[in-house]
Each structure stands twice: as structure tokens, then as C-alpha cells.
Chain A
Amino acid sequence: MGILSWFKYRSPFGIAFMLQRITGVVLLLYLCLHLVYLTSLQSKELYESLTSLTVSKQFFVFDSLLILCGIFHGLNGLRIVVHELGFAHEKRKPILAVLVVLTILGWVLGSYILYTALGD
């Protein structure tokens, strides 16, 4: 029995549990990379050359996936907090359904805002 057994469950709650771990790891890795990236920007020229590479439509897919990870992880975390306080266990299915809808809406909206902000 190892940590891989965390990823074998098939109910919607098991999938949410699994995705919470995966998105958590993704966000942690991103945070580390982000901090390394920021601390490496020591001059204006370097800043401009690197941001022109990463803040671009080529990188949009990754940014969009990051938005998805962040929104899902945050909303699912709130759902878990509510249940861990002992509330709404009987309503967990509709709550999870609302969470999925909100995640998709937030992802689409966030990606749209980001895409339009990137300009041409």
C-alpha cells in the first residue's frame, strides 16, 4: 500500500480528492518556479526579454491550465472545509456539482480575461 493507492478511486469524490492532490502539487511547483524566475530577474533587459517570452499567446495554454488548477484547488478546498466542519454531508453531491460548474465558469472567464489582456 503506497501513495499510488490515493489515485485508484472512481467515485466523483474520489476523483475530486485525487485532483486536489494533483493540482496542489502543480501549484506548489509553479510557486517554486515563479519565485526562482522572479529572483533571477536582475536587470530591466533580462526582465523584458523573459516576460516577452512567458507573457505571450504561446504560453497562454499553460497560464490557462494554471487558472484551472488554482480555481479548482481553491473551491474544492472550501468544499472540504465546509464538510470538515461537519456540515452539509447529505448535500455533498449537489455541492460537488455546483463546484464543477463554478470551476468551469471561473476557468473560462479567467482565461478570457487573460487572453484579451495579452493583446496581439
Chain B
Amino acid sequence: MRLLIRRFDEKSYWQSFEVPVKRGMTVLDALFYVRENLDPTLAFRASCRMGICGSCAVKINGKPRLACETQISKFKKEIKVEPIDNFKVIRDLVTEFEGFFAKHKKVKPYLIAEADYENPVEWLQTPKELSRYYVFSLCIKCGACASVCPASATLNGYLGPAALVSAYRFNEDSRDNGKEERLKIVSDSVGVWRCHSAMECSEVCPKQIEPAKAIQLLRRSLLR
């Protein structure tokens, strides 16, 4: 199998590698093969190798995917691997995520609640209450959604789908009391109203979270 990788080291260029295919082999395995056997200078991010950490999101044949969850057998002859769009490339397939996480932090992605640490009690939650936000809690912050979002592409400050999903997830949590704070943040000029409903984020999300839906539901909360 031919692996075409878009390298970046001061300037961008394509480099081709021949990789032997084994059953069950993923694109991430192929990248490791290249680094271990053909070119030790190849830079890419990976950690869990099981679709949990979100580190290995790259553009594979034009679509953002997790390299660790993409089987090589899915493709016929050639696999094109590029860094994801809308992120500054640091080197090869490694992109800069500082801004992405700063936006995530901005929406206060944690429970805001009064807790008595002297006499701690369990915070109970019914399955129905859990189901209101559960799917949105599956976000692994891989950045695939932001890489295809036209609003993120044209406005650097836009919070982006991942941060807005987090805002919605915590707003819908029955244990949280920070809804008003978060709604104020997401209703800013770079918040939910910047979404153009292109729905590309929902199309590429490796966890099928439907970030576009979370954004529209946030808008609905704001209008109430």
C-alpha cells in the first residue's frame, strides 16, 4: 500500500512510502511502520491507540478521521494522510492545539456546584437526567469538528463545535449550577450565533456526537 504523507518542515511537501499491509492494520500502525522502518523523522501524535485520547486525528483521503480507528483495508491503492485543517501545522502531522484547548477552557467545562466537603454526600442522578447529556460527554477533543467548520475557518476567535458541545453537556447536567455563566459566554459574538449550520462537524465526528445539534440546542436555551 502506498502511503502519501504531507510533510511539513518549514515548507510543505508530499512524501510517498510503501507499507506492507497486514490484517487489522490501521493507518496509525502504518505511520508507526514508516517511523520505525523508513523515516524516523516523521512526526505525528498518538497515545491510546484505541479511539479514546483523540490525539491521532488526521485527514485521511480528504476526511478527518482518527488514524487509530481507520483500517487500511478500507482503501484500495493509496492513502493520503495530511494534518487536519484550520489548525496551525507545527511539523508533519502535528498541529497546534493550544488555542483549541483555550477555547474549551473558556466555556468552564466542569461542574459548577456548591459542595460541602466536610460532610460529602453522593450527587444522585437518574438515568433520564444522565441521558440528557450523556452522548455529548463522549467528546474526545480530537479537533476533527473544528477542522471542517467553515465558521472556525474564517474566524479565529470562534469558540468552535467542541467547546460548545462541552458547554451544552455541562449545562444539561442536573448537578450543575453554572448554566447562566456558560450561556453568557456562549452568547458572545464568537459563540453559538457564529455557527452557519453547515453540519460538517456532525458528519466527521468520530464519536457521532452531533455537535451541530448541541449548538442549536444551546441557541434554543438562550432564546428561552
Min distance, Cβ B186 to any Cβ of chain A, angstroms: 15
Total number of A-B contacts with CB less than 8 angstroms?
A: 63
Tell yes or no: A119 within 8 A of B by CB.
no
Stretch of B41-49, B92-100, B213-221 that contacts chain A = B213-221
Chain A residues with CB under 8 A of B197: 17, 80, 83-84
A2-B199 CB under 8 A given contacts A10-B62, A89-B216: no
Contacting B200 at CB < 8 Å: which of A14, A83, A84, A85?
Answer: A14
Interface size band for A: 20 to 34
Chain A residues with CB under 8 A of B212: 83, 89
Is the beta-carbon distance between A90 and B210 smaller than 8 angstroms? Answer: yes
Interface residues of B in 182-224 (CB under 8 A from A): 196-200, 202-204, 210, 212-213, 216-217, 219-220
17 extra interchain contacts, Cβ-Cβ under 8 A, other than A86-B217, A86-B220? A1-B86, A5-B153, A5-B154, A9-B150, A9-B198, A10-B63, A11-B203, A11-B204, A13-B200, A13-B202, A14-B148, A14-B198, A17-B196, A17-B200, A83-B216, A89-B216, A92-B202
Chain A residues with CB under 8 A of B62: 10
Min distance, Cβ A66 to any Cβ of chain B, angstroms: 24
Would you give the 0/1 interface string for A84-99, flagging 1 where the beta carbon is closer than 8 Å to chain B? 1110011010000000
Bound CA span A86–B220, Å = 7
* Smallest CB gap from A83: residue in B: B197
Tell yes or no: B16 within 8 A of A by CB.
no
